[in-house]
Structure 1
Amino acid sequence: MDKTEHALRIVIADDEPIAKMDLRELLEDSGYEVVGEASDGFDAVEECRKNKPDLVLLDIKMPFLDGLSASKIIFQEKLADTIILLTAYTDPEFIESAKDCGVSGYLVKPYYEKSLIPSIELAVSRSREMKKIRAEVERAQERLESRVIIEKAKGLIMLRDQKNEEEAYSYIRQISQQKHLSMRRVSEMILVRSI
């Protein structure tokens, strides 16, 4: 890892204390920052809520809440950018389940530094790319929704006030500027008022 970059902040979740200690040591020796540890899935979720790590490494089989269930919560609540499962299980059903839980990597124990570190770097890089794509999609959806709401309000003004399309649009824009509100917000208020 390039030392000039900010160190990845990591949460480790494993119910085996020795495995957790070894992993922490390996990660810290590689320049990463371990910001939290957990022994079960519930604590892993809470550590992620508290620390907002770049990466969470989870064992699948843990008491109370397994790693797959914890992964799903962490992914849905956006508590960590990247999730990697570390497990001794290679059963196809675990791998299939992992795909549905927002997991970016699946490493089989015993893992070695030579394979762990490149896998972490690759998974984090891919997760960051996906996060950017998701953000772009959300922005595009928001723009489209805003456009639909503004068009509805514009149509209502045209009908109600006998204005042409340009006048209706100018009316919404004028209120937006005067009230320091987005055109979408002004349009929403116009539409609510008409109900």
Structure 2
Amino acid sequence: MSYKIVIVDDEPITKMDLTELLEEAGYDVVGQASDGFEAIDVCKETNPDLVIMDIKMPVLDGLKASKKIMHDRLAGGILLLTAFYDEDYINKAKEVGALGYLVKPLDEKSFIPTVEVCISRAEQIRNLEKQVEKVTKKLEDRKVIDIAKGLLMKEKNLNEDEAYKLLRKMSMDGRTSMGEIARTIALVYD
């Protein structure tokens, strides 16, 4: 699988060099930008696996753009590049959720392995987020099913088992999830 990467840097030569390194390693550079606002737009269009972003840029810097990109889930992850080895920048990079931090000039031997590790971490995070969403939905469904059971028990004078069986039958007959049936019942009977 060819991973999609966006490069964000206000230096055209840096973008060209990074593109060449990444494409030689088999990555698909799907977009480039020169400032944070452009980066956000490119990420909206391409939803890359990784954004390689300079911190110091005109208009909107890389840290602020990274915060927006990660908040809106416009990319799998961010690898920050900077000429500054500065404690404050490193802490801000952690705060925005960057997966990596490289100081220029880049060491070509460590660049591609760092990109690979960042992409792997981004995939792991995305998988965890999907699992959390599934579990959260199941918990929400469980809660609303319990509410619907209670409403059916009250309205139709059923016991808990009968109410559950009725919900299940309605779900099967309507070819929809019990959660959806329960949401409808909770809305109608409440």
**d(CA) in 1 for partners of 2:155, 2:88:** 59
The alpha-carbon deviation at position 180 of structure 1 amounts to 2.1
The alpha-carbon deviation at position 59 of structure 1 amounts to 0.4
Cα deviation, 1:49-91, whole Å, max 9, x if unaligned, reads 1111111100011111111111112112221112100111222
Query: 1:103: which partner in 2?
Result: 98
**d(CA) in 2 for partners of 1:49, 1:36:** 11
Where in structure 1 do 4 or more consecutive aligned residues deviate above 3 Å? Answer: none
- Does 2:13 correspond to 1:13? no
One-letter amino acid matched to 2:187: V
The alpha-carbon deviation at position 147 of structure 1 amounts to 0.3
The alpha-carbon deviation at position 160 of structure 1 amounts to 1.9
Query: 1:91: which partner in 2?
Result: 86
Deviates more, 1:92-101 or 1:143-152: 92-101
- Does 2:55 correspond to 1:55? no
**Structure 2, unaligned runs of 5 or more:** none
Query: 1:189: which partner in 2?
Result: 184
The alpha-carbon deviation at position 40 of structure 1 amounts to 0.4
Query: 1:170: which partner in 2?
Result: 165
Query: 1:3: which partner in 2?
Result: none
**d(CA) in 2 for partners of 1:96, 1:145:** 36
Give identity over the alignment, percent: 48
The alpha-carbon deviation at position 7 of structure 1 amounts to 2.0
- Does 2:140 correspond to 1:135? no
Are the counterparts in 1 of residues 49 and 122 from structure 2 also a CA contact under 8 Å?
A: no
Among candidates 108, 131, 151, match of residue 156 of structure 1: 151
The count of residues paired between Structure 1 and Structure 2 equals 190
- Does 2:28 correspond to 1:39? no
Cα deviation, 1:91-135, whole Å, max 9, x if unaligned, reads 222111111212111111111210101111111112211221221
Query: 2:117: which partner in 1?
Result: 122
The 5-angstrom pairing of residues 59-70 of structure 1 reads 59-70=54-65
SS at match of 2:122: helix
The alpha-carbon deviation at position 162 of structure 1 amounts to 1.1
SS at match of 1:84: strand
**d(CA) in 2 for partners of 1:30, 1:176:** 50
SS at match of 2:96: coil
**d(CA) in 2 for partners of 1:137, 1:7:** 26
One-letter amino acid matched to 1:173: R
The 5-angstrom pairing of residues 23-38 of structure 1 reads 23-38=18-33
Are the counterparts in 1 of residues 171 and 177 from structure 2 also a CA contact under 8 Å?
A: yes
**Structure 1, unaligned runs of 5 or more:** 1-5
Are the counterparts in 1 of residues 50 and 118 from structure 2 also a CA contact under 8 Å?
A: no
